[in-house]
A and B are shown apart, each in its own frame.
Chain A
Amino acid sequence: MNFAPRYLGRGSWLARRDPRVLIVSLFLFVFTVVQIWDARVVLLLDLVALVYYRSAAIPWAGVRRQWAFVVLFLTLLVLINTLITGGVVPNYTGDYDVFFTLPILGTPISAQSLTYAGTQLMRFMAMTAMGFPVAYAVAPDAFGIAFRRLGVPDKFAFAIDLTFRFLPSLANDMQTTADAQRVRGHDWQEAKGGLITRLRNTTPVVVPSVINALVGAEDTIDAMDLRGFGTGRRTWLKHLVYDRTDKLVIGFFLVQFLLLTYLGFVTDISQIWVPQLLIDLANR
């Protein structure tokens, strides 16, 4: 398997932005979304997220599987949440317009709980669409400097770069270990025995992977010390500057955040909004 980071959005409009833009926008957006429960506003936010996502030009074929997985899992999560809450919508004090009651569980399915589930799903999707570009449209070697310039200390920012450095090589080593054990007649993927036995069955792969990486780290540590790592202020080869577009993008998400936060206090957009159509349908 190839574990190298996949820079699928390379060259796109969003990928050409300063990487800090993608990270800051995501967090501004997430902090905005979590306050909003009005489906009409959430729909608008979905649109914003969609336009933003499209600007990263991530090829559909490259992330199809990922999206399918996310959608499936989120749908499941929302459904289970609906069942467990017994159809009760948090912070909602009004009446429920019930369609029917689920047999056995006795959960009432109402216009309100359906709206709540739908809105919940839409919020998740918006956040996911905003998150994907960070994963696929930032050059792998730009993360360290991006976090550095966002105020993360030098050493931690470098640790992030180092993470990208180790990812492919440790993945290879792990494959070698798994291979070496297969040659000895051991396959961790084989399902046999009880749970604890199977857990122990993974140690021939897990243990050498961990221990070898740690033993090998001695040389890496020496190599870093010998080149003066962490002994004082450091510079970074890569340079980041916001251009006007970058500032506009961040400005947009900042204004959106401030505006909706304000509206959240003075209007009802932090409460669910149930479409009249659903209420009518339920009462028919």
Chain B
Amino acid sequence: MTGRPTDLLALEGFGFTYRRASRPAVRDITLTVQAGEVLLVAGPSGCGKSTLIRGINGLIPHAYSGTREGEVRVEGRAVADLRLRDLADVVGTALQDPARQIVGATVEAELAFGPENLAVPREDMRERIRDVFARTDIGHLAGRETANLSGGERQLVAVGGILMMRPRLYVVDEPLANLDPATAAQLLAILRRMADEGSAVVIVEHRVEEALGLRPDRVLYMDHGEARYLGPVEGFLDIADPALVKLPFDAVLAQARRRAEAAVAIPISSAAIPIPSATSRAIPADRPPRVAFEDIRAGYGEREVLHGVSARLGVTETVALLGPNGSGKTTLFKAAMKLIPLMSGSIAVDGDDTAERRVAELARTFGYVFQSPSAMLFARTVREELAFGPTNLGADPAELDEVIAEALVRVGLDAEEGILERPPMTLSFGQQKRLAIAIALAMRPRTLILDEPSAGQDHANATRFMDQVRSIDGIESLYLVTHDVDLALTHADRILLFREGRVVADGPPTEVVRDLELWRACNLRETSLMQANARWAPTAGGFVDAERLAAMVVGRREERELA
């Protein structure tokens, strides 16, 4: 395939090796994208998706050093020969983290930034702002300060800033990572509309099931920097590994069926499939809950975020907190750790009121892993970093090495070469996240609190990670905040639905999902796995993950056919 001058975008054998890297991040990618087309790029973490994006929007070769192979053309012109300013007229890029990409202090300033740089006249800019407000339904944000926007609103404004430049090709890198499902759908609708109006869209996304809502024309599946598949969606759903990419349940099931037909016999029968049982971890009646929130109100400065929350989280439970962006999920756990003061109400930990206790004491009970792992890394080596907490709590220096080694083993970082002497900030994002957990574990907590453990991680990493955490002994309970509905439903014993600073539902997963109206009101979506569970495993007692459920369904049919 060679690019024709009429192609909006044409990659011919594109490859790139970063200056410090020993092997290429992307290798031999050839594809074209026409006006009006949507291309979804998927693949595991580190497979080179962002690198591909940089090749398209010109950051490679204009901002990154390394060795570049092949050619990238936009409207027939080589990207390498164009200035970024000229490229900006054709290609508009939205980066993954809107909090970092926004440069304006107000919504209007952010929208105007691009056109200002291209010296668009003022009147024209105003006209474009009106136009973007109209197309994206974000007009109600006019005049707001970007710092006070919720994560979801910020992402929409960032995309609005790209629309302002009226590019013919939209390139978006993991736009959904921190969004609640409803906001994610709103954003995808905007992109769909751009494609319908004749622009092309290249979107990178881990949340494949939701990204399919964009009705992509083709999918590029990458692994280790190479294209494994490029073609229509159906073919992709046939070949993608459900362990690595989160697929709609129907696709998982279809794959399982095909495998079953190909195999002579089914290796496992449905009876042998372990179903995680939610009821086995019941709370002993005599023990007080690990945390009890009694009608608490809390917030930042004058602003109340939690409006009277009462909840009890048990000693041996896995509890997931779900809810819209900005509903106060993170705030709730900050209050539990005494990081923000209560306006009213009280919190008891293991039966004792926390009013009398210090943060450092609570740290012995709770291992709190923040949303962003790098926020706490400061030391020169991983060893120093891990020793910091226990030392502050007065741990015996003689035991320190053992504690550190153990914590590293538990998060699977021990195999990493020379890990103890590595500077923590040079670890990859996923590794930093695991180090953050090791840091919490080194303080030997009994309960682990995880804020967004899966954000920005691929499907395989996210699930593996959750499975590992649950098997760590010494950890009695696990509380997590997440936007990944399926992850929460399949791993938690109990779900707390949060909305506008209040708990609106509380119960086992199977019960909470019954009120679909409430579910949607909390910006959540009915996933294909939920539908499948309702249809195939209404009696399983808990939620079954996609692969197990598919195996069960196929197994049952086999049994029926045998009988």
| Interface residue from A167, A186, A204, A237 paired with B112 (Cβ < 8 Å) | A237
| Interface residue from A141, A165, A167, A228 paired with B103 (Cβ < 8 Å) | A165
Instruction: Say yes or no: A219-B95 contact (C-beta < 8 A), given A185-B392, A227-B117, A237-B122.
Output: yes
Chain B residues with CB under 8 A of A221: 63
Asked if A165 and B378 make an inter-chain contact with CB atoms under 8 angstroms apart, the answer reads: no
Residue B405 lies at the interface, judged by CB distance under 8 Å to chain A = no
Asked if B59 and A225 make an inter-chain contact with CB atoms under 8 angstroms apart, the answer reads: yes
Residue A173 lies at the interface, judged by CB distance under 8 Å to chain B = yes
Interface mask (A1-12 → B, CB under 8 Å = 1, otherwise 0): 110100000000
In the assembled complex, the Cα of A197 lies from the Cα of B140 at a distance in Å of 51
| Interface residue from A162, A222, A228, A239 paired with B95 (Cβ < 8 Å) | A222
26 A-B contacts, Cβ less than 8 Å apart? A2-B300, A141-B106, A165-B146, A177-B376, A185-B389, A205-B378, A207-B378, A208-B378, A211-B378, A215-B374, A221-B63, A222-B101, A223-B93, A223-B103, A224-B113, A226-B58, A227-B113, A228-B88, A231-B83, A232-B119, A234-B116, A234-B117, A234-B118, A235-B122, A237-B112, A237-B116
The chain B residues found within 8 Å of chain A, CB to CB, are 57-59, 62-63, 83-85, 88, 91-93, 95-97, 99-106, 108-109, 112-122, 125-126, 145-148, 161, 165, 300-301, 334, 337, 339, 359-360, 362-363, 366, 368, 370, 372, 374-378, 388-389, 392-393, 425, 439, 443
Instruction: Say yes or no: A219-B363 contact (C-beta < 8 A), given A176-B370, A184-B388, A230-B117.
Output: no
Instruction: For residue A18, give the distance in angstroms from its CB to the closest CB of chain B.
Output: 16
Chain B residues with CB under 8 A of A2: 300-301
Chain A residues with CB under 8 A of B120: 235
Residue in A closest to B117 when the chains form the complex, CB atoms = A228
Asked if B301 and A1 make an inter-chain contact with CB atoms under 8 angstroms apart, the answer reads: yes
| Interface residue from B63, B119, B393 paired with A234 (Cβ < 8 Å) | B119
In the assembled complex, the Cα of A68 lies from the Cα of B393 at a distance in Å of 40
Interface mask (A197-216 → B, CB under 8 Å = 1, otherwise 0): 00000011101100110011
Total CB contacts across the A-B interface at under 8 A: 173
Residue in B closest to A1 when the chains form the complex, CB atoms = B301
Chain B residues with CB under 8 A of A235: 115-116, 119-122, 125
Residue in B closest to A206 when the chains form the complex, CB atoms = B378
| A residues 130-171 touching B (CB-CB < 8 Å) | 140-141, 161-162, 164-165, 167-169
Asked if A164 and B105 make an inter-chain contact with CB atoms under 8 angstroms apart, the answer reads: yes
Extra contacts, 7 of them, besides A141-B106, A180-B370, A216-B97 (Cβ < 8 A), are A179-B337, A180-B375, A184-B389, A221-B63, A226-B59, A228-B117, A229-B117
Name the interface size band of chain A: 35 or more
In the assembled complex, the Cα of A1 lies from the Cα of B83 at a distance in Å of 43
Instruction: For residue B171, give the distance in angstroms from its CB to the closest CB of chain A.
Output: 9
Asked if B119 and A233 make an inter-chain contact with CB atoms under 8 angstroms apart, the answer reads: yes
Asked if B116 and A183 make an inter-chain contact with CB atoms under 8 angstroms apart, the answer reads: no
Asked if B360 and A208 make an inter-chain contact with CB atoms under 8 angstroms apart, the answer reads: no
Asked if A212 and B374 make an inter-chain contact with CB atoms under 8 angstroms apart, the answer reads: yes
Instruction: Say yes or no: A203-B378 contact (C-beta < 8 A), given A228-B114, A230-B117.
Output: yes
Residue A182 lies at the interface, judged by CB distance under 8 Å to chain B = yes
Asked if A183 and B359 make an inter-chain contact with CB atoms under 8 angstroms apart, the answer reads: yes
Asked if A169 and B378 make an inter-chain contact with CB atoms under 8 angstroms apart, the answer reads: no
Instruction: For residue B121, give the distance in angstroms from its CB to the closest CB of chain A.
Output: 7
